[in-house]
Structure 1
Amino acid sequence: MVLLLLLQLVISKSNGFTLKLIHRDSIESPLYPGNLTLEERATRLLHIQTDARIKYYAKKIAIAASAKLQNMRPGNKHLAILARIDLHLRLIMVPLIIFGCGTNQEMRFETTPNKINGILGMGSGPHSLISQLGYRAQKRFSYCIPSRQNDNDNIYLRFGQEAAFRHGQQVHHLHFPPGYFDIRHDGSGGCVIDSGSPLTSLPQGAYIWLKNVVTQYFAQMQLPTKQKPHFDLCFPVPGPHQPFPLITFHFANADLQVGTTAFVGMDDAICLAFRSSGELGGISAIIGGLVQSYYRFVFNLATSTVSFAIEDCRRTS
């Protein structure tokens, strides 16, 4: 998901704050492409879902144990600038933030010339934004991704005590036990929750199994497979009384259930928002942004936990 970070629009409290993130296709974006059909939206999504992304995760993990600082992205080139700035967020000021900016990047987005200036780091390292914000962020952030059917829907990135669920929500906690996401000796394994990958990637065997089950499900409704460019599995649009299958991710202590958000909607078809990671190796699974829609994800780096709960992400409060 390509986003623009609008720093000047901030809802701030003493123990947390919120940043508004504008999608590149939003009507508020300077890159706004105009009214797009559902199929055009789906095609633009796939331009940022590349095999290079999976290869990057594999390479990143393989070199993580090295004491030598490396910055490797297969197939991509960039010229970066590292600077210190005083970050003014309307009601708060954070002095001497280390902030990187790319100026000559060749990333696999379809925008020409490339207008993406960097990636917002939210990891546990000392130079990530959330670490530099210190007590203001409390090593805690959250987001809730709305459906991209509306040009006016944006994402609000929340920090600190702002990164919380609404009152009365049922919360599912993922308490990672020691070694749960350990990488195997050959560098493979693990799972990534990635809002930047629209589609969810599964190992070849798991993807084929899912594909077969989904095909059988729609076959019972007399809905045969349908060919659409760029997608592996598509069907005619179901009728109003033909429900979508419910796909569930079973984690150690919680289940992530997705229905319509497991599919990309077009004018005359729906396509499964999953893909095979093939023989690329690396991560066992990448949980993509589409299946995260209408869930709030809260990442707590201090306790190494991820929590999620259903939420109407179109609301800004």
Structure 2
Amino acid sequence: PPVEFLGVADTGSDLIWLQCSPCQKTRSCYLQKSPLFDPTKSSTYKPISCNSPSCHHSDIVTDCAANETNKNEGECVYLVTYGSGPLSFGVLSADTFTFPLSATLPSSIFGCGFAQSGFGGFDGIIGLGLGPLSLVSQLGPRINHRFSYCLAPQASGATSKLRFGGDVLSPGVVSTPLITKSSHYFLTLERISIGGRLVQVGQDAAIDSGTTLTLLPTNAYNHVRDAVKNAIRLSPIPNLDGSELCYEAHESSLNPPDVVFHFKGANVVLKAANTFRQLANIACLAMSPTKGTIIFGNVAQVNFEVGYDLLAKKVSFAPTDCTKY
């Protein structure tokens, strides 16, 4: 029988996975609201065997759980890790996926996760990257290689939306070339402006719906932080979460300046809901310095319709009230 699950849509990874029973018996899964997926109760569920071509992918680690008689007839096990350490381990499998207001996708490949760490609050992850195991790649021509999402502010309680197959046609839409590296999406970030202050960047930035904060090179971050701090003219408080700029206030009362990310051919204007995130009665800058890859995180993407056209190789942004999308 059909069962419903809630997954995190992640453009920074490929594999679709969800927690599977009986991981709770070994205490190797985290608490979730929905019942765990029980593969023994699905008539269409099939574990992928070691000798299947579907067991071999460059974007995840796979191995063979050999049976007693023939190693190649064993189940294909996977291990996928995420940037800061979370991981999922389980059996690569196939089953039928159905999405609201969308088509059914039979024999979808996904990870049946029997051991997870570092996660919480959802049933699994829906990988939207460029690798062959991602939902976008498995849907492929059925969605014209296009998808979009609209992330509502977390405090609104509204549901964010993910759509397949269409163009971003909202007023004020701007587009920038899409650069692909490995199975990830990158955009060229030329500079950032705050008021009359320009901060040069000149690097490619990964756009990632699964990362909260926007990560900037340390020098650029310092300039952005200082410009925002000078414009707000309030006394910041000691930070609570590692962020360097926090205020005891609601983001809407801070009246921060617009922060404009100048991508190649597209100026994306970030408002208060994009530059600050609310933690109880504390508002903290939703940006952080990094010595690694620049990332345009999901707080920065709130209240934009963000569209990916993989054939035209472009990403589009349109300011949108995502609570009404």
State the Cα deviation string for residues 270-293 of structure 1 (Å, max 9, x = none): 22111111x4x3x1x111111111
1:215 is aligned to 229
- Which of the residues 228, 236, 242 maps onto 2:239? 228
- Counterpart mapping for 1:221-260 below 5 A: 223-230=234-241, 231-237=243-249, 243-260=255-272
Cα offset, 1:238, TM superposition: 7.7
Q: How many Å separate the matches in 2 of 1:68 and 1:252? A: 30
Q: Deviations over 1:137-172 (max 9, x none)?
A: 111100011111123x111110012x5334xx1210
Assess if the C-alpha contact under 8 Å between 2:6 and 2:123 holds in 1.
no
What are the residue-to-residue correspondences of 1:71-86 with 2, within 5 Å? 71=61, 73=81, 75-86=85-96
Is this contact kept in 1: 2:309–2:315, CA < 8 A? Answer: yes
Matched-pair contact (CA < 8 Å) for 2:176–2:187: no
Query: Structure 1: which amino acid aligns with 2:114?
Result: T
With CA pairs under 8 Å and 6+ residues apart, which has the higher RCO, 1 or 2? 1
Q: Which of 164, 168, 180 is 2:168 aligned to?
A: 164
Distance change (3 Å), C-alpha of 1:126 and 1:228: closer
Question: Residues 196 and 305 from structure 1, CA distance in 2 versus in 1: closer, same or farther, beyond 3 angstroms?
Answer: same
5+ long unaligned stretches in structure 1: 7-28, 32-66, 183-188
**2:285 paired with 1:272:** yes
2:140 is equivalent to residue 134 of structure 1 = yes
Normalising by the residue count of structure 2, what TM-score does the alignment of the two structures yield?
0.63
Q: How many equivalent residue pairs?
A: 235
1:201–1:275 contact (8 Å) kept in structure 2: yes
Distance 2:117 2:250 in 1: 40
Identity fraction in percent: 29
Q: How far 1:134 moved relative to its partner? A: 3.1
1:28-47 to structure 2, matched below 5 A, reads 30=33
Partner Cα distance (2:175, 2:255) in 1: 28
Matched letter for residue 165 of structure 1: L
Distance 2:232 2:173 in 1: 31
Check the 8 A contact 2:88/2:117 in 1, yes or no: yes
Matches of 1:92 and 1:137 in 2, distance apart? 10
Q: Which amino acid aligns with 2:263?
A: F
Counterpart position of 1:192: 206
User: For residues 176 and 5 of structure 1, what CA distance do their matches in structure 2 show?
Assistant: 25
- Helix, strand or coil for the counterpart of 1:124? coil
Please report the TM-score for the alignment, with normalisation by the length of structure 1. Answer: 0.64
| Residues in 2 aligned to 1:241 and 1:138: alpha-carbon distance in whole angstroms | 42
Q: Tell whether the 8 Å contact from 2:251 to 2:278 is kept in structure 1 after alignment.
A: no
Equivalence map 1:116-131=2 (5 Å): 118-131=124-137
CA displacement at 1:307 relative to structure 2:
0.5
Distance 1:94 1:178 in 2: 26
> In structure 2, what residue type is equivalent to 1:203?
P
Larger Cα-atom Rg: 2
Aligned equivalent of 1:309:
318
Query: Which of 3, 6, 28 is the equivalent residue of 1:4?
Result: 6
Which secondary structure state, in structure 1, belongs to the residue aligned with residue 228 of structure 2?
A: helix
